[in-house]
Amino acid sequence: MAVRNAEQDPEIEAQLREQLATLEGRLARITAHQMNTDREVSHDWPDRAIEVQNDEVVEALLPRTRVEIAAIRHALSRIAAGEALTCESCGKRIPSKRLAIIPETRHCASCAA
Ligand SMILES: [Zn+2]
């Protein structure tokens, strides 16, 4: 059984889970969008142009969403292991205030700057 880190704000874990759910929903919508456009390609040029443009916007979101999901899973696994969320650059504890704003962050404010 993992030792809970008493100093870790329990709110952070709840926020991370909420954010993960949001991002996974977005990822599912992006994937659905891509599958949908593969099936239904318009033959009219104006429509096709709009679809292509949308695809580019949607595709730009995909890597970012994946990176954010990975960061949140990483943070959650550290919490599950009872580890404090510390800065990966300087090793100092990331303040709860910062985690409340950016739960998936891996760095303290001074290292991220
Ligand atoms: Zn740092």
pLDDT tens digit sequence for 11-43: 888 989 999 999 999 999 888 877 765 555 556
Higher pLDDT, 51 or 85: 85
d(CA 75, CA 14): 12
- Which pTM value belongs to this model? 0.67
pLDDT tens digit sequence for 49-65: 666 667 777 788 889 89
Residue 100 CA to ligand 1 center (angstroms) comes to 16
Higher pLDDT, 6 or 20: 20
Average pLDDT over the chain, rounded to whole? 81
Residue 54 CA to ligand 1 center (angstroms) comes to 38
- Answer whether residue 75 shows pLDDT above 80: yes
Residue 43 CA to ligand 1 center (angstroms) comes to 53
